[in-house]
Structure 1
Amino acid sequence: MSRLGAEEGAGSSIKVLLAEDQVLVRDSFKMLIDSTPGMVTVGEAGTGGEAVRLAGRLRPDVVLMDVRMPEMDGIEATRRICGSPHGSGTRVLILTTFDLDEYVYASLRAGASGFLIKNTTAAELLSAIRVVAGGEALLAPTVTRRLIAEFLQRAEQAPAPRPLDGVTPREREVLTLVATGLSNRDIAEHLHLTVGTVKTHIGHLLAKLRARDRAQLVIAAYEAGLVTSPSRSDRR
């Protein structure tokens, strides 16, 4: 059963919707989030369907989404939340006990802005919520390598590379580096640019490619064929 949180008084706090079928785990997340300055739990859902309905009603900044839930799995719920006309300001952070490639790929394709395993620390989880709420994507290099391997495995069946209409050569360079998992600062150092200039290029890429966030830029880069084959060690 869904439970609404303290909507009033949320102010400028990051509003979080919890989507987790295990009540004990959900309560733990709620205690952690509500005891953290600048964050508040605005709702709780025990099924994917409830998560979709509450996201539409409460307009949270971040949905902390489990993958395996009754009624509708977290990936389908993510797809519906991110595809809703009311979901443009809501980011989804996938949190699961299952470290499977298919979940990483499917979650990002569905529109998730991040993916974490439940053995993460409390500090890492809170940091991830802040990053995702700020419009960035949480993409660890290991996740990036998995996505590259996934695209390579599908290459023979894949359609023609996605066109990058209107993207300048410099923006292509930035997009390629985003796809490798580099931060804005790392990209700036690599290309001898300022961090502000890198942010400007990324803003242009988001607009030109109609990408929701950095995670979708990564997907766009792979689909455009801008990535190179990872080494054998990366695929293990």
Structure 2
Amino acid sequence: MPVSFGALRQCPTSGRAWGNAVSTPRRIRVAAVDDHPVLLRGLQATLATSAEIDLVTVSTTVGELLAVDDLRVDVVLLDVDLRDGTDPADNVRAVVGRGLPVVLYTSEHRAALVQRTMAAGALGLVLKGDPERDVVEAVQSAARGEVYMSSRLAMELVSHPAGEVSLSPREREVLTLLAAGLPWSAVAKDLGISVSTARTHMARVLEAYSAIGMPLRDGPREAVARALSSGQIDDPYRLG
């Protein structure tokens, strides 16, 4: 279940100076979604260094976050890989669909996956290895509706050519089954298509790589390797 830190601070809403009412700016309310409890506690400590930010809710899945009653937050810090079988881009779309800005906070370095997740509507990207102050700056930027990249490496991830390869869901399914070691006949049977159709999807994958100047001379084998390394698909054995 989500853990609320909302009771840790009381935020004053107004004060008086020289006889005139002075409004204190409202603090930025942040929710964090990550499957590592220790990291969530670390985020609490990091954000507590800012006089402008309150971490009010933490969850281990997007489903948990969006099920919170009376969810009132300004920015969501979201890990890319929650290891719960959900699609990272779908997670971003679900949160953004609730009108909440998303900042990705991740150790994920697979360019295609990062780009696909950013394209789903995230406003910022902070790598977990970057300085802690970057998290605060990213939250502040997202609250203003501004895009934020934490480092040169983050910028390289969102601009890497591998992310330009656009694959359909079915093409990724074919690649994933091949990565699991299935022969063409089993791939076709699993997807309910013919072997010829499965090979056609692979041909389109090879064309997509060629179109960005990355021809795959080793054919399907290299396509699977590239898709795994860039994050176009997940290792089928990774979540087990």
Bucket of the pairwise TM-score, normalised by the shorter protein: 0.5 to 0.7
Gaps in structure 2 of 5+ consecutive residues: 14-25, 169-211, 214-240
Sequence identity (%): 23
For residue 5 of structure 1, what is the aligned residue in structure 2? 5
Which residue number in structure 1 is paired with residue 33 of structure 2?
A: 19
Residues 1:73 and 1:47: Cα distance change in structure 2 (over 3 Å):
farther
Find the partner of 1:65 among 56, 78, 84.
Answer: 78
The one-letter code sitting in structure 1 at the alignment partner of 2:78 is M
Aligned 8 A contact 2:112 2:162 in 1: no
Supply the distance in 2 between the matched residues of 1:74 and 1:60 (Cα, whole angstroms): 20
Kindly state the Cα deviation for residue 17 of structure 1 after the two structures are TM-superposed: 0.2
* 1:4 alignment partner AA: S
Within a 5 Å distance, the mapping from 1:90-105 to structure 2 comes to: 90-105=100-115
Q: Is the 8 A contact 2:62 2:91 kept in 1?
A: yes
Identify, as 1 or 2, the structure richer in helix.
Answer: 1
CA contact (8 A) 2:111 2:158 kept: no
Q: Distance in 2 between matches of 1:32 and 1:14?
A: 14
Q: Which amino acid aligns with 1:58?
A: L
CA-based RMSD of the aligned residues comes to 2.8
Aligned residues: 152
User: In the alignment, what sits opposite 1:121?
Assistant: 131
Q: Which stretches of structure 1, 4 residues or longer, exceed 6 Å deviation after superposition? A: none
The alpha-carbon distance between structure 1 residues 33 and 78, as it changes in their structure 2 partners (threshold 3 A), is same
Indicate the residue corresponding to 1:79 in structure 2.
93
What's the CA shift for 1:149?
Answer: 5.3
Structure 2 residue matching 1:112: 3-state secondary structure:
coil
The CA deviation at 1:94 is 0.6
Give the drift of 1:75: 3.2
Aligned counterpart, 1:162: none
How big is each residue's C-alpha offset from its partner over 1:109-165, in whole Å with a ceiling of 9 and x where there is no partner? Answer: 22111122110111112111111111101146424422x6533x449x9xxxxxxxx
Structural mapping, 1:166-185, within 5 Å:
none
Residue of structure 1 in register with 2:63 after alignment: 49
Normalized against structure 2, the TM-score is what? 0.55
Asked which structure has the greater CA Rg, the reply is 2
- Long gaps (5+) in structure 1: 158-228, 231-236
Task: Measure the CA separation in 1 of the matches of 2:120 and 2:78.
Answer: 12
Cα 1:127/1:60, change in 2 over 3 Å: same
Cα deviation for residue 77 of structure 1 reads 2.0
* Aligned CA distance change for structure 1 residues 72 and 50 (closer, same or farther; 3 Å): farther
Alpha carbons 1:48, 1:74 under 8 Å: kept: no
Is residue 49–residue 71 contact of structure 1 (8 Å, CA) maintained in 2? Answer: no
Aligned-residue offset at 1:36: 1.8
The separation in 1 between residues aligned to 2:162 and 2:38, in whole angstroms, is: 36
Measure, in 1, the Cα distance between the counterparts of 2:156 and 2:81: 22
Deviation at 1:106? 1.7
**Amino acid in the other structure paired with 2:81:** R
- The question of whether the paired residues in 2 share the 8 Å contact of 1:65 and 1:74 is answered with no
The corresponding residue for 1:169 is: none
The change in CA–CA distance for 1:43 and 1:154 in structure 2 (over 3 A counts) is closer
TM-score normalised by the chain length of structure 1: 0.56
